[in-house]
Structure 1
Amino acid sequence: MDLDLRKVRYFVAVAELLHFGRAAERLHIAQPVLSRQIRSLEKDLDAPLFERDSHGVSLTTAGHQLLDDGRALLASADATRRRVRRSARGPHRLVVGFRAGIVLTRTLRAYGAAHPGIEVRARRVEWDDQERLILDGTVDLAYLRRPIREDGLTLLPLFTETRVAMLPGDHRLAGKPDLVRADLDGETWLRYADPGPDDVPIRSIEEKFEAVASGAGITLVPVSVAEQYSRPDITYVPVTDAEPDEVVLAWEAARRSALIEGFVQSVRGARD
């Protein structure tokens, strides 16, 4: 029997909330209907997905497995739906992602002037979704900063930038003409990737501002970020021996698109 994606979506809601009533509210369906759909899915798979007792609902081993696989399956189905809808609209719109600090205005204007029948839009991406938004079709290609999970992507290196320390305005090193990494020994560095279970991941430049200004820690940012974003309680100081920040243009390796190929060629031509 084919796996019913609607039932999988219902299952994921219950598995995430571990509560049939709240899951039914999220899904905008009646709880008895949701319960019947879950029982039907368990029958389809010939496996119990939940343990139900007086203390509530918990996942079985099979349920944990389906939650992992189901999330990936639903994400893939959603990406397929977006790509099909985009294809149905025809090759008339290009969405270009970019990280904070990277200015696309001149590139997008030049591309739009050379291709007047194509609508070009820009969308900001963050470090924790930059690859996913390309692979699921939300953006067609994007200007990314390393580190990058390269699986499934084609990368075109573009340029590097020096990095500067982002410090609270009253920091002991504020006002220095420049620093080296050793000057920052003993400082608390903000963590972005793989936060602990009780941590809130820092995603955007605005969140970095709040964390640094509050004294939670310091970080390094590309010089373009320092040039474009400022606050009176934040200061930037060049770090002469910091590893440069690398910017690349990335797109899905397996995707065939005349628009993407044309944009990449225009970028290559501008570099030559």
Structure 2
Amino acid sequence: MLTHRQLRYFVEIVDAGSFSLAAERLFIAQSALSRQVREMERELQAALLERDTRHMEMTAAGRSLYTDARRILAVLEDAAARASHAQRGTEGTLQLLHSSSVPLNAPILALVQQHSEQHPGVSIEVSQASSEHQALDVHEGRADVGLARAHILRRFGDVHYVPLYEEPLVAVVPAGHAMAGRASVPLDALRHERFVATPHLERGGLSHRVAELCRAQGFQPLAASVRSRKWAQLALVQGGFGIAVVPESMARLAPAGVCLLPLEGGDCTTGVLALWRRDAPALVQRFADALQASLGAKVGESS
């Protein structure tokens, strides 16, 4: 069984690029470091590093172990930090994720501000991740709460998927586009346009919802030559590469040089989900409760 120390040594060797530099950073003898790696390779029955006098490279087994070791060490460091906070009488750090299509608008920021004032022992770290990755990160304990776009294709039994609210979708077109002067457009009017965001077979989120609505109108979104499922899609529209269909809250933050067109039809909406583990600690559950109370549409949990 590999130890925490061995994983830390191995990551340091790879990051340093040499045994000698890693030994200096770890304040141990280079021979002791080499011995630890040999023990790891013997335990795993696989070579981890290929090295000569001037070069060192990870094997396939080494690359796999390095990725897992970094993740394990990060989780252990976070656990130690939480324990330290608890020992000092504070509550710890809450890791909050949001997708690029769920911007930190005024209601969300007001909620975060209010929660911070009410719970000064809790610090909140905000990061961005795709909706599908949020579910995985929450499931595996790398994040506490996610703000994701429906639909999420991959579901985990230990994660809550709670609808918070729905908002309208709008078409975003370049300012010089033929439809730019219209007050609104039906979704069907976009069937011959090039979309700068198209769905991925293994990902849900905003692009999946847009494709679903287009298919209901009898067409598949045509892909632009340059695409992005992230915030950059608005810049691509500005640059004239194609059009996008995005939530109203995201469209409000679009750069100059684009035109926003409301989509006709009451079904052209998109939902936001709150994600958190079912066995989440109290500080996470409190924040999830605050999300539902402040932003939620008072609906039950989705299936």
TM value normalised by structure 2: 0.63
- Superposition deviation, residue 163 in structure 1: 1.1
> Is the Cα contact below 8 Å between 1:192 and 1:201 reproduced in 2?
no
Percent identical pairs in the alignment equals 22
> Is the Cα contact below 8 Å between 2:172 and 2:261 reproduced in 1?
yes
Selected match of 1:208 from 223, 233, 251: 233
* 1:100 lines up with 2:103 in the alignment: yes
For 1:21 and 1:108, the matched residues in 2 are separated by: 44
Any stretches of 5+ residues in structure 2 without a counterpart? 204-225, 299-303
- C-alpha distance after superposition, 1:141-174 (max 9, x if no partner): 2332224344242122111111112323223332
* 1:244 lines up with 2:269 in the alignment: yes
**Map of 2:196 onto structure 1:** 189
**Map of 2:42 onto structure 1:** 43
Taking a change above 3 Å as real, the CA distance of residues 140 and 71 of structure 1, as seen in their structure-2 partners, is closer
Letter of the 1:123 counterpart: V
- Superposition deviation, residue 9 in structure 1: 4.9
For 1:201 and 1:70, the matched residues in 2 are separated by: 33
> Is the Cα contact below 8 Å between 2:238 and 2:257 reproduced in 1?
yes
Taking a change above 3 Å as real, the CA distance of residues 22 and 79 of structure 1, as seen in their structure-2 partners, is same
- Superposition deviation, residue 217 in structure 1: 3.9
The worse-fitting range, judged by mean Cα deviation, of 115-124 and 209-218 is 115-124
> Is the Cα contact below 8 Å between 2:82 and 2:91 reproduced in 1?
no
- Superposition deviation, residue 222 in structure 1: 0.8
The alignment's C-alpha RMSD in Å is 4.3
For these two proteins, the number of residue pairs brought into alignment is 259
Taking a change above 3 Å as real, the CA distance of residues 23 and 91 of structure 1, as seen in their structure-2 partners, is same
- Superposition deviation, residue 246 in structure 1: 1.0
- C-alpha distance after superposition, 1:104-135 (max 9, x if no partner): 1443455456x365556472523265345545
* 1:233 lines up with 2:239 in the alignment: no
- Superposition deviation, residue 223 in structure 1: 0.6
> Is the Cα contact below 8 Å between 2:196 and 2:236 reproduced in 1?
no
Taking a change above 3 Å as real, the CA distance of residues 116 and 254 of structure 1, as seen in their structure-2 partners, is closer
TM value normalised by structure 1: 0.69
- C-alpha distance after superposition, 1:152-209 (max 9, x if no partner): 42122111111112323223332322223332224143257579xxxx994752x233
Any stretches of 5+ residues in structure 1 without a counterpart? none
**Map of 1:260 onto structure 2:** 284
